[in-house]
Amino acid sequence: MDWSRTVHCIGDLHAGAIKRPRVQAMLDDANALPTPALHLQVGDVTENGFAKEEVLARRWLDRLPARYYAAVGNHDLMHKRTAKQWATAYGYQSQSYVVDFPTLRIIVVGPERDYAPERSGELSDRTLKWLEARIRNAPEKTCWIACHWPRKNTVLNDKRKSLYTSNMTKFYAKPDGRIRALLAKYPNARAWISGHTHSPIDAPGLLTRAKLPRGRKIVTVNCSAIVGVGKKRDASDPIRSLYLTHFRDRMEVRFRDHGERRWKHVGGRQVTHIKY
């Protein structure tokens, strides 16, 4: 495992609602591992977007062994909070920004405010134009798009569990057709990293290659959640996150159980290799 190429992806945290031992287990285990290139928290870092919750969340994230970056989530924009206010609290100029490495560009995007459920996760025209420019201007780099909301028809349910899915109206990024068409235009747009659904790591489509127009596909990865799994949070839920290692032609995915302090096998494999 090449840690210098690895991004630790942390799912929904929900500071203000999560039980402290769950966060502590994640922090203790992450600090016992080698240091990754960065930590990427994929949204809903707070439960209500309150300032006191953000103070707590930042205090926790600052204890990670490498620099962290965060995406805005729907819970972070509650109570009429704007994305600009959220970005200022975390030291960003906007909720949408870029993190660059020699062969990888991570483009973090999000909506400008919380919308009604039928528009939840809607990226504005301005954000879509900004996103396209950041992909187009880095043709030599692989681009990962980090957005709290997953792509539609990716992470799903199975008949044994009651789960949120990316096909529920308020659980996928919008406008779906325009986003798919935009991504299809650029071969270097290779992955969409999300959270939001609180999915278990064995959920169908948690890691997949989603279809785009023009016969293209894009890797989609959902990062589960630290706060809990499924629609009802339970203290006994596993505490898991994903470690993604970037290579020019592929991504390696490892699933970490922070409570058990060990790598989990999914589909009979400890490491999943998925080609871009």
Domains of the chain: 3-275 (3.60.21.10)
Q: How far apart are the first and last CA of the chain?
A: 18
The CA-atom distances, in angstroms, between 7 and each of 65, 99, 121 are 12, 12, 24
Residues 71 and 146 sit within 8 Å (Cβ to Cβ): yes
pLDDT value at residue 159: 66
The model's pTM? 0.96
Share of the chain above pLDDT 70, in %: 99
Q: Give the length of the chain.
A: 276
The answer, yes or no, to whether residue 27 has pLDDT greater than 70, is: yes
Taking only the tens place, the pLDDT of each residue in 94-130 is 999 999 999 999 999 999 999 999 999 999 999 999 9
CA distance 225 to 192: 16
Parallel, antiparallel, or unpaired: how do β-strands 217-222 and 207-211 relate? antiparallel
The CA-atom distances, in angstroms, between 50 and each of 57, 222, 226 are 11, 25, 19
Parallel, antiparallel, or unpaired: how do β-strands 250-257 and 262-264 relate? antiparallel
Taking only the tens place, the pLDDT of each residue in 185-195 is 999 999 999 99
Query: Mean pLDDT, the chain, as a whole number?
Result: 96
Helix extents (H) in the chain: 20-32, 51-61, 83-90, 125-136, 176-184
Taking only the tens place, the pLDDT of each residue in 164-179 is 999 999 999 999 999 9
Taking only the tens place, the pLDDT of each residue in 189-239 is 999 999 999 999 999 999 999 999 999 999 999 999 999 999 988 889 999
Residues 182 and 143 sit within 8 Å (Cβ to Cβ): no
Contacts 24+ apart (CB under 8 A), 33-37: 33/65, 33/256, 34/3, 35/3, 35/65, 35/66, 36/3, 36/6, 36/7, 36/8, 36/65, 36/66, 36/243, 37/3, 37/4, 37/5, 37/6, 37/7, 37/66, 37/101
